[in-house]
A = this chain, B = another copy of it.
Amino acid sequence: VEHRRNQESQPVFTPLKSLNDILFYFTHTSQNVSSLADLLPAMDGDTKTMTFLQEVVDILMAYIVESFDRETKVIDFHYPNELLQMNNWELQDEPATLDDILISCRATLKYAIKTAHPRYFNQLSTGLDMVGLAADWLTSTANTNMFTYEVAPVFVLLEYVSLKKMREIIGWQDGRGDGIFSPGGAISNMYAMLLARFKMFPEVKEKGMSSVPRLVAFTSEHSHFSIKKGAAALGIGTESVISAQLKRDMSQGFVPFFVSATAGTTVYGAFDPLIAISDVCKKYNVWMHVDGAWGGSLLMSRRHRWKLDGVDRANSVTWNPHKMMSVPLQCSALLVREEGLMQNCNQMHACYLFQQDKHYDLSYDTGDKALQCGRHVDIFKLWLMWRAKGTIGFEAQIDKCLELSEYLYNKIKDREGYEMVFDGKPQHTNVCFWYLPPGIRYMEDKEERKKHLHKVAPVIKARMMEYGTTMVSYQPQGDKVNFFRMVISNPAATFEDIDFLIEEIERLGQDL
């Protein structure tokens, strides 16, 4: 049976001429063409490997320099079908040469968005920190897994050190508690909800939701959609995520188990009143989570951390260094006040990973705390950047971004043709505004005006992308028609870049 061939289930291969075809590709390449088979681990692969990697690095370095150059485009935009046809991206049975591989690298970067460009304001995770980048290259090279100390001794310790420091900054005594880096804020928030449910009803782990009463989670209307995604996934249901009064719902037989306060909402960058929320949570004995994916980094700023006053009362905090702190994607921490809970909630005692008779301190094996089995090393880039900047470096960078957004706000709040979407100065770097082109600026009919205004931002955005000069996001929200949502998290941006954005919006929108 072993060598049986099921011809019908082989639709993907071109006919195999002979086994020599394979041997050819892997042991002999023609004299002038280098292939993968020439690189390490080939016996004499050192030099060719160095040469190849150096060529890749040269391409990357040229791209980096270009990304920071205001004379280059943020994007060389093409429609999906167009881009699919512009190159051969298809996967083949036969190998390409190393020269082809370098061409593919260049093509990929040619059509990539320069998220590091100082005029890219489209969304979060902008900028490219050079130490963070170096750290990420090192992480790729070390290519290991966070589940045990055995395979990631240094990285596991650095995660330990960094999480402790972050808990100290939150204000938990001596940095005590627990935590983990997870693949993004949505998963971190889901972890928090999972822990809250387990804390109140530990039997849910074995018996499922049928063993517990109907649960209700509370969050503000402007919270991130991951709270609802989490509730749907965990079997709680999106209808059980509400923004009503705690008291009313308790009287209907629902059991509130989780409140997610937001520190820095996605659209407006608003901060929920954490102290007041903690009082309510304490009164009703409900888990208090702070979703600080976006706003958590303000804890690093002596000038702005008051916006999170009360965060030390939370049971868990999501904090994404890959947003405001410019750590390369992804780097999201969930911090948990109670020690041991993550382990109890998620462990399944897989003996093939977490042997109990190892010769080192097993508390450093973090894998059974996580939902993931393998876990990417996200810590090193944060840790190395923190070393390079110090806490005061992150602080300076955060303060600068907030200054830039204040500058933008002050510039447009009374400028002709602009309207702000919400009242007052932004608490974070989110500046939400409408641009009204001259043609609709004085329209009397409010409904008509609204209808026209709704189309302005998408057109300006599409033109921006086609020119490739800058990018900023837009969106509708409730009964508010499309508005621009400016977010600043790139420390490379300057006051002049803000000026440029305004000029570009006006240039591209004046005929609308």
Q: Which residue of B lies closest to A400 (CB)?
A: B26
Determine whether A116 belongs to the interface, using a CB cutoff of 8 Å to chain B.
Answer: yes
Mark interface residues in A95-128 (1 if CB within 8 Å of B CB, else 0).
Answer: 1101011001101110111011010001101011
With a cutoff of 8 Å between Cβ atoms, the chain B residues found around residue A206 in the complex are 232, 237-239
Docked pose: A465 CA to B206 CA in angstroms: 37
Looking at A64, A68, A98, A130, which has the most chain B CB atoms within 10 Å of its CB?
Answer: A130
With a cutoff of 8 Å between Cβ atoms, the chain B residues found around residue A45 in the complex are 68
With a cutoff of 8 Å between Cβ atoms, the chain B residues found around residue A215 in the complex are 208
Docked pose: A57 CA to B491 CA in angstroms: 25
Docked pose: A118 CA to B384 CA in angstroms: 29
Kindly identify which residue among B53, B240, B309, B473 contacts A9, using a CB–CB cutoff of 8 Å. Answer: B309
Q: Are B208 and A237 in contact (CB under 8 A)?
A: yes
Q: Given A136-B140, A393-B95, are A157 and B80 also a contact pair (CB < 8 Å)?
A: yes
Q: Are B475 and A95 in contact (CB under 8 A)?
A: no
> Which of A147-155, A281-289, A334-342, A502-510 lies at the interface?
A147-155
Docked pose: A234 CA to B204 CA in angstroms: 10
Docked pose: A377 CA to B113 CA in angstroms: 13
Kindly identify which residue among B64, B184, B231 contacts A40, using a CB–CB cutoff of 8 Å. Answer: B64
Determine whether A302 belongs to the interface, using a CB cutoff of 8 Å to chain B.
Answer: yes
Kindly identify which residue among B50, B98, B302, B322 contacts A5, using a CB–CB cutoff of 8 Å. Answer: B302
Q: Given A145-B125, A184-B373, A357-B482, are A49 and B130 also a contact pair (CB < 8 Å)?
A: yes
Looking at A22, A36, A209, A235, which has the most chain B CB atoms within 10 Å of its CB?
Answer: A235
> Which of A345-353, A413-421, A433-441 lies at the interface?
A345-353
Q: Given A111-B153, A206-B238, A238-B205, are A475 and B393 also a contact pair (CB < 8 Å)?
A: no
Docked pose: A50 CA to B65 CA in angstroms: 9
Q: Are A352 and B57 in contact (CB under 8 A)?
A: no
Q: Are B226 and A373 in contact (CB under 8 A)?
A: yes
> Which of A165-173, A242-250, A256-264, A442-450 lies at the interface?
A165-173
Determine whether A488 belongs to the interface, using a CB cutoff of 8 Å to chain B.
Answer: no
This chain's copy number in the assembly: 2
With a cutoff of 8 Å between Cβ atoms, the chain B residues found around residue A150 in the complex are 113, 122, 465
Docked pose: A101 CA to B390 CA in angstroms: 12
Determine whether A329 belongs to the interface, using a CB cutoff of 8 Å to chain B.
Answer: yes
Q: Are A209 and B229 in contact (CB under 8 A)?
A: no
Q: Are B142 and A387 in contact (CB under 8 A)?
A: no
Q: Are B233 and A184 in contact (CB under 8 A)?
A: no
Q: Are B142 and A112 in contact (CB under 8 A)?
A: yes
Kindly identify which residue among B107, B309, B328 contacts A6, using a CB–CB cutoff of 8 Å. Answer: B309
Determine whether A187 belongs to the interface, using a CB cutoff of 8 Å to chain B.
Answer: yes
Determine whether A90 belongs to the interface, using a CB cutoff of 8 Å to chain B.
Answer: yes
Determine whether A271 belongs to the interface, using a CB cutoff of 8 Å to chain B.
Answer: no
Looking at A134, A303, A357, A475, which has the most chain B CB atoms within 10 Å of its CB?
Answer: A134
> Closest CB of chain B to A159's CB: distance in Å?
11
Docked pose: A2 CA to B171 CA in angstroms: 20
Docked pose: A257 CA to B296 CA in angstroms: 40
Kindly identify which residue among B1, B64, B105, B491 contacts A134, using a CB–CB cutoff of 8 Å. Answer: B105
Q: Given A90-B161, A371-B186, are A352 and B475 also a contact pair (CB < 8 Å)?
A: yes
With a cutoff of 8 Å between Cβ atoms, the chain B residues found around residue A372 in the complex are 183-184, 186-187
Q: Which residue of B lies closest to A65 (CB)?
A: B46
Docked pose: A21 CA to B396 CA in angstroms: 10
With a cutoff of 8 Å between Cβ atoms, the chain B residues found around residue A352 in the complex are 266-267, 473, 475, 477, 485
Determine whether A91 belongs to the interface, using a CB cutoff of 8 Å to chain B.
Answer: yes
Q: Are B57 and A359 in contact (CB under 8 A)?
A: no
Q: Which residue of B lies closest to A197 (CB)?
A: B235
Which A22-58 residues have a C-beta within 8 angstroms of B? 22, 25-26, 35-36, 39-41, 45-46, 49-50, 52-54, 56-57
Q: Which residue of B lies closest to A293 (CB)?
A: B373
Q: Given A206-B239, A225-B350, A238-B206, are A141 and B153 also a contact pair (CB < 8 Å)?
A: no
User: Closest 8 A-B residue pairs measured CB to CB?
Assistant: A235-B235, A208-B237, A209-B209, A41-B492, A209-B235, A136-B140, A183-B183, A359-B462
Known pairs A52-B130, A208-B209, A355-B475; list 10 more (Cβ under 8 Å): A25-B393, A26-B393, A39-B131, A49-B130, A50-B61, A80-B157, A84-B157, A109-B138, A229-B348, A232-B346
A-B contact list, 21 entries, CB within 8 Å: A13-B392, A22-B392, A36-B131, A52-B134, A91-B162, A95-B388, A101-B388, A104-B384, A108-B158, A125-B145, A133-B143, A183-B376, A186-B374, A204-B232, A207-B237, A209-B235, A209-B237, A224-B373, A225-B373, A352-B473, A355-B474
